[in-house]
A and B are shown apart, each in its own frame.
Chain A
């Protein structure tokens, strides 16, 4: 039997009353912001901290760049899409010179050929820091499942966008960077 208008009125009232009580009750019991968010490799969370050495053997930490927008890229020399997007990163590096934007390219050395990676950097005159993840711990912390993977981190150290796969177009990189640079620190 189809539901009658009179019966539905009661169902409607019960639904609305229960929903209102649920909203009020649960908002009093818990809030979404309770507990600080631990570092995780996803948008909206603080970027996991790390310290790696660059090609010259100097230590570089993510925390060195607090207050700046960071483009964190994971790559390997055997990965053609990774290499294809490097010129776009270099163009950005030349445009910003590390003032407001920092580009960090983490080479997944634990599963890459270090010599091939070094040769690629030299051949392409890459001037941004290339860091070496020798034991895979940083790649593991960032849950790298496919390459290239790129994390756009805002001035507060919060990941705002994760792009898995590539090569990213220069347009995509520029729009994401501009969005983060436009945010008031």
Chain B
């Protein structure tokens, strides 16, 4: 665990740094792969992700401000504070997603090929999330005395952060673009969603910070099972209509 990297007077939040590096590395890879695939304009991928990121940060701050308008009114400069504690995660996801949709619509980007092209970046980001959790000590496991247990927050625990990192690496290998097996557009992305949900179901059983629903069921597992059911059904539908689906070449911008 290394939540803070102290370099002289500078205290760098390691988890944030890992996530930023993951995002940069993932997007660079996605851009390179898009250049090889020549289905989507590589610049469009980068701009789409950047638009979503900036809109997400802006939305997260504005949603937070909306909760305490009087405090921010007295100190408007806090609107541009870099402190991540003054961000609202829900607001960030909503505005980031909306910005992505609007940008895609305006640029007339084909939805499924774009999502497929973004999948390598999402895979790398998922690995980075596991490593960021390991650095911060978040998403920690239930107490367990195992040869591979880690001492964290006063107990020996399941290293759930490493479980999620390893599973994320496995998902990245499975969904990485391959020339030999061309699937209908969208299947790569949907497979990533399904496998991520499946991985969450597996890891969540060892986490100590779960919330419960319907008595003793873990909320995240119930939601992940729903996502797994929907995404696999969607894959089945796209595979079924493979023969009538639009050829990939037609989706070029």
Residue of B nearest to A169 (CB): B78
Partner of B232, one of A16, A28, A171: A16
In the bound assembly, the distance between CA atoms of A74 and B192 in angstroms comes to: 44
Stretch at the interface among B50-58, B164-172, B212-220: B212-220
Interchain CB contact under 8 A, A169 and B75: yes
CB distance from A87 to the nearest CB of B (A): 13
**Interfacial chain B residues near A20, Cβ < 8 Å:** 225
Residue of A nearest to B205 (CB): A26
Partner of A19, one of B4, B142, B201: B201
**Interfacial chain B residues near A45, Cβ < 8 Å:** 153-154
Interchain CB contact under 8 A, A34 and B83: no
Interchain CB contact under 8 A, A40 and B153: yes
**Interfacial chain A residues near B211, Cβ < 8 Å:** 32
List B residues 144-196 near A (Cβ within 8 Å). 153-155, 181-183, 194
Stretch at the interface among A1-9, A65-73, A93-101, A110-118: A1-9
B interface vs A, CB < 8 Å?
Answer: 3-4, 6, 11, 13, 64, 67-68, 71-72, 74-75, 77-78, 81, 83, 85-86, 137, 142-143, 153-155, 181-183, 194, 198, 201-202, 205, 207-212, 216-218, 221-222, 224-225, 228-229, 232-233, 235-236, 239-240, 242
Partner of B68, one of A22, A39, A175: A175
CB distance from B228 to the nearest CB of A (A): 6
Interchain CB contact under 8 A, B232 and A175: no
In the bound assembly, the distance between CA atoms of A27 and B181 in angstroms comes to: 38
In the bound assembly, the distance between CA atoms of A24 and B71 in angstroms comes to: 46
In the bound assembly, the distance between CA atoms of A16 and B207 in angstroms comes to: 21
**Interfacial chain A residues near B153, Cβ < 8 Å:** 37-38, 40, 42, 45
Interchain CB contact under 8 A, B228 and A15: yes
How many chain A residues touch the partner (CB < 8 A)?
47
A interface vs B, CB < 8 Å?
Answer: 1-5, 8-9, 11-12, 15-16, 19-20, 22-24, 26-28, 30-35, 37-40, 42, 44-45, 145-146, 161, 163-165, 168-172, 174-176, 178
**Interfacial chain A residues near B72, Cβ < 8 Å:** 171
Most A CB within 10 A of own CB, among B75, B208, B210, B212? B208
Query: Beyond A19-B201, A32-B142, is A171–B181 a contact (Cβ under 8 Å)?
Result: no
Q: List 28 A-B contacts (CB under 8 A).
A: A5-B239, A8-B239, A9-B236, A12-B233, A12-B235, A15-B194, A16-B229, A19-B224, A19-B228, A23-B201, A27-B205, A30-B142, A32-B211, A32-B212, A32-B218, A35-B155, A38-B154, A40-B154, A45-B153, A146-B11, A164-B13, A165-B11, A169-B77, A169-B78, A170-B75, A171-B78, A171-B81, A175-B67
